[in-house]
């Protein structure tokens, strides 16, 4: 081996060590930088004509398990979706009232029943009449509050969709720009650009649960859950959704007024699953419309069963009409009724009607027996109406031996496509209790799902940090080795320089 070749090899060793020292120092400096992954340099021995010729170092490489990264992104999407559901359903749970505190929907129904029992004992007592009227008002107010909370949550879901689509577009544009820069290879530190791209993809995955397919040239394909390939365009938005005001009768689909999520002009709403976008769609178009329908049926059934016995205690906003539960929910006056129900102004003005009744009943289609109200000046001890209310309005029978028509569990929602996940009890109190239980348990399930997804996300992140994060102790140990390597190569150069000087001196 010539002295020139030996010097070349030693110099390449020094250059390689310098680069490795730089990378190691960068690793240590960024040990606590979010999204930073440990970098390394691969070395390749060079041979020319079967003779050693030094070494070559490649560009910085990341030690990243792409399958693990995809799992982390999926866990992040699940956690984000569960957090959205938990947040929006919390307001509805609060509107239902605290069970056991006497102010839940089912307890409000029970409180009204108790007020009628007390009034039955003293029908002419103005104080008991006022107490029964207050209990009816409390129940109507509770139904109004639940309906308002559901409507507010649906509007938040719609507004959240618009915000998430905007965020997803921004993330996709940034991913597209970074991908072009990575593929061009003209900016030097491609590994750092890949770190940045992974951070943006993690943010995108919270909006849309995505899987990333990576190619050797730095290019990627982003596939949203549901099989949707998301185009990468650094200059244009590819997703869109319109603003909308969400009323109880609003829905997405044919004939509906709610907008869908569009991908370059194509509606992909039905394909979107997971992430905050998928959860907002699920809440807006499925869960919350079902909640609204169940609450409306509670209100409508309550009003109708009172009216069937001869007491129009609850009415629609006009103060006179009562919805008919025998009609289809989507096309009847039941839709949104929980937000409009109120105590009959006539009864509020004359509480004595709680004893006497408001309307005669003859040939009720619901099966209630005929009834004639207590006439003006009638007996103060009139109990016929109160007995009917207690025996039938709050129970599963419209009359002796005649059951009420079943409360519908299907054909719900503003488009009639939804169904309750439970069988409807026959009594109004039982149904109200089942509605409260079903709707409030959804929040508890969302909280548990968020905790589980967050725990999985943390576990995966720990694995990722162990594989791809910076171990400062290991880096410092490596630095010591690199210093020794640098010193060894320097000694080789120094020795070769001495040999050259000796050789030149001999020639002179």
Give 397-415 pLDDT, tens digit per residue.
999 999 999 999 999 999 9
The mean-pLDDT minimum among 231-235, 351-355, 483-487 falls in 483-487
Given a cut of 80, whether residue 382 has pLDDT beyond it is: yes
Mean pLDDT of 167-187: 90
pLDDT class for 160, splitting at 50, 70, 90? very high
Tens digits of residue pLDDT in 24-62 = 776 676 667 776 766 666 666 666 655 665 556 566 667
Q: 3-class SS at 46? A: strand
Beta bridge partners of 361: 371
Say how far apart CA 373 and CA 387 lie, in whole Å: 13
% of the chain beyond a pLDDT of 90? 70
Burial status of residue 96 (CB atoms within 10 A of its CB: 0-12, 13-18, 19 or more): buried
- Determine the average pLDDT of the residues in 411-440: 95
pLDDT of residue 22: 65
Say what the pLDDT of residue 7 is. Answer: 60
Query: Domain extents for the chain?
Result: 3-63+470-507, 69-455
* pLDDT reading at 498 higher than 70: no
- Is the pLDDT reported for residue 507 higher than 70? no
Tell me the β-bridge partners of 229.
223
Q: Supply the angle between the helices 66-96 and 190-207 in degrees, to the nearest 10.
A: 30
Comparing 51-60, 98-107, 431-440, the range with the smallest average pLDDT is 51-60
Of 116, 160, 153, 12, nearest to 428 (Cα)? 116
The residue-averaged pLDDT of 16-25 equals 66
For the chain, the 3-state helix, strand and coil shares in percent, each to the nearest 5, are 55, 10, 30
Contact assessment for residue 261 and residue 226, using Cβ atoms and an 8 Å cutoff: no
Which residue would you say has higher pLDDT here, 185 or 172?
172
Per DSSP, helices labelled H in 341-427 are 345-349, 353-356, 384-388
- Looking at 97-238, list the stretches that DSSP marks H as alpha helix, in order from N- to C-terminal side: 105-121, 126-184, 190-207
The reported pLDDT for the residue numbered 47 is: 64
- Write out the two tokens for 466: 């162990």
CA dist., res. 98 & res. 440, Å (int): 10
Q: 92-101, 299-308, 312-321, 427-436 — which is least confidently predicted?
A: 92-101
* 323-360 pLDDT per residue, tens: 998 899 998 899 999 999 999 999 999 999 999 999 99
C-alpha–C-alpha distance, residues 73 and 193, integer Å: 18
Under 8 Å between Cβ of 270 and 400: no
* Predicted pLDDT at 216: 84
CA distances to 340, 376, 498 from 504, in Å: 106, 135, 10
pTM above 0.85, yes or no: yes
pLDDT(139) > 80 = yes
483 Cβ contact partners less than 8 Å away, ≥ 6 residues apart: 21
Q: Residue 362: helix, strand or coil by DSSP?
A: coil
Pairing of strands 210-214, 262-263: unpaired
Cα 186 from chain centroid (whole Å): 40
pLDDT (average), residues 218-229: 92
Distance CA 274, CA 209 (A): 5
What is the torsional sign of CA 415, 419, 425, 426?
positive
pLDDT in tens, 72-81: 999 999 999 9
> What's phi and psi for 418, nearest 5 deg?
-105, 165
The three-class DSSP label of residue 379 is: coil
To the nearest whole number, what is the mean pLDDT of the chain?
88
Contacts of 91 (CB under 8 A, 6+ apart): 149, 152, 153
The H or E element containing residue 45 is strand 39-48
């Amino acid at each position: 081996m010539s002295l020139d070749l030996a010097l070349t090899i030693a110099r390449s060793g020094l250059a390689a060590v310098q680069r490795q020292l730089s990378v190691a120092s960068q690793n240590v400096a960024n040990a606590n930088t979010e999204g930073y992954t440990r970098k390394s340099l691969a070395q390749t021995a060079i041979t020319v004509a079967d003779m050693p010729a030094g070494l070559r170092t490649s560009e910085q490489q990341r030690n990243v398990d792409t399958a693990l990264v995809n799992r982390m992104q999926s866990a992040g999407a699940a956690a984000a979706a569960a957090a959205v559901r938990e947040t929006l359903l919390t307001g509805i749970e609060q509107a239902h009232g605290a069970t056991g505190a006497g102010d839940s929907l089912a307890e409000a129904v029970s409180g009204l029943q108790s007020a009628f029992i007390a009034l039955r004992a003293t029908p002419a007592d103005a104080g008991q009449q006022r107490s029964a009227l207050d209990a009816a008002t409390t129940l109507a107010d509770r139904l109004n509050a639940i309906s308002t909370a559901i409507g507010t949550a649906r509007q938040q879901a719609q507004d959240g969709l618009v915000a998430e689509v905007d965020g997803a577009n921004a993330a996709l544009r940034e991913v597209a720009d970074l991908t072009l820069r990575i593929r061009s290879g003209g900016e030097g530190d491609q590994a750092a650009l890949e770190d940045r791209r992974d951070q943006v993809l993690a943010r995108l995955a919270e909006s849309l649960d995505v899987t990333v397919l990576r190619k050797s040239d730095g290019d990627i394909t982003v596939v949203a859950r549901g099989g949707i390939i998301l185009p990468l365009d650094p200059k244009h938005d590819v997703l869109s959704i319109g603003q909308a005001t969400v009323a109880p009768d609003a829905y997405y689909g044919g004939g509906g007024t709610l907008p869908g999520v569009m991908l370059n002009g194509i509606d992909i709403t039905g394909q979107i699953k997971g992430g905050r976008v998928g959860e907002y769609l699920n809440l807006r178009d499925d869960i919350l419309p079902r909640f609204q329908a169940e609450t409306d049926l509670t209100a409508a059934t309550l009003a109708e069963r009172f009216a069937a016995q001869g007491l129009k205690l609850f009415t629609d906003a006009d103060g006179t009409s009562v919805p008919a539960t025998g009609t289809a929910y989507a096309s009847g006056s039941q839709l949104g009724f929980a937000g409009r129900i109120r105590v009959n102004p006539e009864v509020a003005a004359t509480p004595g009607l709680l004893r006497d009744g408001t309307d005669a009943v003859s040939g009720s289609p619901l099966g209630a027996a005929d009834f004639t109200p207590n006439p003006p000046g009638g007996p103060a001890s009139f109990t016929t109406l109160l007995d009917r209310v207690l025996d039938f309005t709050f129970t599963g029978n419209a009359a002796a031996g005649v059951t009420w028509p079943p409360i519908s569990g299907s054909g719900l929602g503003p488009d009639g496509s939804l169904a309750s996940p439970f069988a409807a009890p026959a009594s109004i109190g039982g149904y109200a209790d089942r509605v409260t239980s079903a709707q409030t348990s959804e929040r508890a399930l969302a909280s548990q799902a968020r905790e589980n997804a967050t725990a999985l996300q943390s576990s995966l992140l720990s694995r990722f940090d162990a594989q791809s994060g910076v171990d400062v102790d290991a880096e410092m140990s490596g630095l010591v080795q690199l210093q020794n390597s640098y010193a060894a190569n320097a000694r080789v150069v120094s020795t070769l320089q001495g040999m050259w000087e000796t050789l030149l001196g001999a020639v002179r």
